[in-house]
Amino acid sequence: MTVFHVAYKNMLRKKNRSLLTVVGIALSAWVLVSLFGFNKGYEASLNRDIDNLGFQVLVTAKGCPYEAATLMLKGGIGLRYMDEGILGDIRKHPEVEAVTPMLMHAIFDPNKGESGGISSYLGVDPSTFPRLKAFLEFQEGGWFSDPRGREAVLGYEAAELEQREVGDSLLIPETDVSLKVTGILKRTGTQDDGTLFVPIRTVQNLFGKKGRLTGVGVKVDKRADIAALEEELYNLPDVQVVSLAQVKQTIVGLISTARVIVLSIAAIAIAIAMIGVVNTILMSVLERFQEIGILKSLGAQAEHVFALVWAETLMLCLAGSLLGTGLALVLSRATGWLVRRILPYTPTGSLVSIDWKLVLASVALVLAVGMASGLYPSWKASRIRPLEAIRREE
């Protein structure tokens, strides 16, 4: 009969107490794995979303809203314009790999809802924008057939709102101009879903903005120093530089602060679970005081008793950690859904990423802390004297 078999038998003597201890350890392991999985998944999704934007720096005119969402909140006002000549100034920098000009124009649409709404048209360069936004996929159709034509590509939500399909005509509110829908994009989970993309020359001509831009997307060479490039771009007159890398760092910084708080809670949960382990094993030792004394009187050495009690600790911690990691794996999607309901901003894709390395690391951490918690009860058991045990029995 092995030490582990005897330890297993001892645990079954108090099934409810052993089960509650295992559940406590499992909950701690679940919190650990889910937390570390969220950390990994969130940062990976955020990196992917930033990379999918196609450019790392956005240059706009000073005071110009650079998000469609901001434009909607402002009721379509607040747009500022730059001269197209700025494209040449930006291209001069050796760190710049590619640029794409953009021109946003907003029109009040009385047909949107009871009180109307804002329709935003984003003029893009057909020769550069699709290349930088290569992650955009079409549900049907494709990009413009004529770089100066009256055509439009609709985001997924824009197509649903306008109830248009490829080949349909889209009338621009308060004008006699209609655009032919050449493509409808798949859902991306970004503001692109609600955007109407039009050739930039068409937007300039239709709305009297010839030679004007609202933004320039800048793709930076991977080996370049983005911060240094930003400082150089700030020297351009009347522009503001929006660094998507800075936006990312800000979000990650906020998440890191929240992560410290959650880690503290996880540490407390582990501490409580380990106190439960100590209590369970120590109570088991005290209840078997005479039994352990008899074992020692029959020839069992202190190290044998120590190994027996420590084996019980190992089995409890191993069962709890495996159960906790299993729960984290099974409920990872539910955890991701809950996080999306709580956080004000979440990137697209899976928010909780759990792999075998994370599982092994978490199990190892729980086992290490648990085994450390079992040192005192094991030492206590090994120090029991046979004569003292017999006298207590009398």
| pLDDT band per the 50, 70, 90 thresholds, residue 382 | confident
**pLDDT(54) > 80:** no
User: What CA–CA distance (Å, rounded) separates 329 from 105?
Assistant: 46
| Mean pLDDT to the nearest integer, 224-235 | 80
What residue type is assigned to position 100 of the chain?
Answer: T
At 216, list the tokens. 């320039």
Residue 389 banded pLDDT, cuts 50, 70, 90:
low
Residue 55 is predicted with a pLDDT of: 74
Average per-residue pLDDT for the chain: 79
Q: What is the DSSP letter of 223?
A: T
- What is the pLDDT confidence band of residue 71, given thresholds at 50, 70 and 90? very low
Q: Report the DSSP pairing between strands 117-124 and 196-199.
A: parallel
Asked if residues 22 and 316 have their Cβ atoms less than 8 Å apart, the reply is yes
pLDDT at 229 over 50: yes
CA 161 – CA 164 distance, rounded (Å): 8
Place of tokens 């382990």: 277
User: Mind listing the pLDDT tens digit for each residue in 93-142?
Assistant: 888 888 889 988 877 766 665 545 667 788 999 988 888 887 788 999 99
Query: Reduced to 3 DSSP states, what percent helix, strand and coil does the chain have, rounded to the nearest 5?
Result: 55, 15, 30
Confidence band of 143 (pLDDT split at 50, 70, 90): very high
- Give the mean model confidence (pLDDT) for residues 37-60: 75
pTM exceeding the 0.75 threshold for the entire prediction = no
CA–CA gap between residue 289 and residue 282 (Å, rounded): 10
List pLDDT tens digits, range 189-206. Answer: 777 888 899 999 999 998
Virtual torsion, Cα 369, 370, 375, 381, nearest 10 deg: 170
From CA 140, how far away is CA 93, in angstroms rounded?
A: 38
